[in-house]
Amino acid sequence: MLLNRKGQGNLWFGADYTINLYRGCHFGCIYCDSRSECYRIEAFDTVRLKETVFTELEQEMRIKRRKGVISIGAMSDSYNRMESSQGATRHLLELADRYGFGIQITTKSASILDDLEILKRIAVHSPVCIAVTITTFDEADRQWIEPYSSSTQERFRALEALKKAGIYAGITMMPLIACLNDSQANLTAIARQGISTGIDFIYPYPGVTMRDRQRDYFMSKIQVHRPDLIKVYRQYGDRYEWLIREPKRRMQELKALLDPQGITMSMPVIIARYKTSRSNRQESLF
Ligand code: SF4
Question: What is the CATH number for 132?
Answer: 3.80.30.30
Cβ proximity of 117 and 165 under 8 Å = no
Q: What is the largest CA-CA distance in the chain?
A: 61
User: For 160-180, what is the HEC assignment?
Assistant: HHHHHCCCEEEEEECCCCCCC
Q: Is 270 in the pocket of ligand 1 (CB under 6 A)?
A: no
- Give the atom of ligand 1 at the shortest distance from the alpha carbon of 31: 7
Residue 62, pLDDT score: 95
Rounded to the nearest 5°, which phi and psi values hold at 104? -125, 125
**CB distance 47 to ligand 1 below 6 Å:** no
d(CA 132, CA 28): 17
Q: Do strands 4-5 and 207-209 pair parallel, antiparallel, or not at all (unpaired)?
A: unpaired
Q: Got the DSSP string for 93-144?
A: HHHHHHHTEEEEEEES-GGGGGGHHHHHHHHHHS-EEEEEE---S-HHHHHH
Q: How far is the CA of 194 from the centre of ligand 1 (A)?
A: 21
Q: So what's the pLDDT on residue 73?
A: 85
Per-position b or e across 165-179, b if 16+ CB within 10 A of its CB = eebbbbbbbbbbbbe
Task: Report yes or no: 148 and 28 within 8 Å, Cβ to Cβ.
Answer: yes
**How far apart (Å, rounded) are the C-alpha atoms in residues 215 and 199?**
32
145 C-beta closer than 6 A to ligand 1: no
Q: Is the CB of 150 under 6 A from ligand 1?
A: no
Across the chain, mean pLDDT equals: 94
Predicted local confidence at residue 1, as pLDDT: 79
**Ligand 1 center to 217 CA (angstroms):** 13
> Which of the listed residues 30, 32, 41 should we mutate to test ligand 1's pocket, taking the one with most ligand atoms within 8 A of CB?
32
* Distance (Å, whole) CA 86 – CA 82: 6
Burial 107-133 (b: 16+ CB within 10 A, else e): bbbbbbbebbebbebbbeebbbbbbbb
Whole-angstrom distance between the N-terminal and C-terminal Cα of the chain?
40
| Residues contacting 82, CB < 8 A, separation 6+ | 22, 47, 48, 49, 88
Helices (H), 227-266: 230-234, 247-258
For the Cβ of 34 lying below 6 angstroms from any atom of ligand 1, the answer is yes
Task: Answer whether the bond into residue 227 is a cis peptide, omega within 30°.
Answer: no
Spacing, Cα 118 to ligand 1 middle (Å): 24
* The amino acid at 185: A
Whose C-alpha lies nearest to ligand 1, atom 3? 76
19 alpha carbon to ligand 1 midpoint, in Å? 15
Q: Give the tens place of pLDDT for each residue, 174-233.
A: 999 999 999 999 999 999 999 999 999 999 999 999 999 999 999 999 999 999 999 999
State the residue range of the domain holding 269.
4-285
User: Which residue(s) pair with 131 in the sheet?
Assistant: 106, 170
The CA 173 to ligand 1 mean position distance, Å, reads: 13
Structural contact between residues 174 and 186, judged by C-beta atoms closer than 8 angstroms: no
pLDDT, position 278: 63
Locate the ligand 1 atom nearest the alpha carbon of residue 35 and give its number: 8
Q: Which atom of ligand 1 is nearest to the CA of 75?
A: 3
- pTM here? 0.95
Question: Which residues touch 15 (CB under 8 Å, ≥6 apart)?
Answer: 6, 68, 69, 70, 71, 104
The tally of domains found in the chain comes to 1
- Distance, in Å, from the CA atom of 81 to the CA atom of 84, rounded to the nearest integer, reads 7
Instruction: Please tell me the distance between residue 148's alpha carbon and the centre of ligand 1 in angstroms.
Output: 10
User: Which residues of the chain are modeled with pLDDT < 70?
Assistant: 278-286
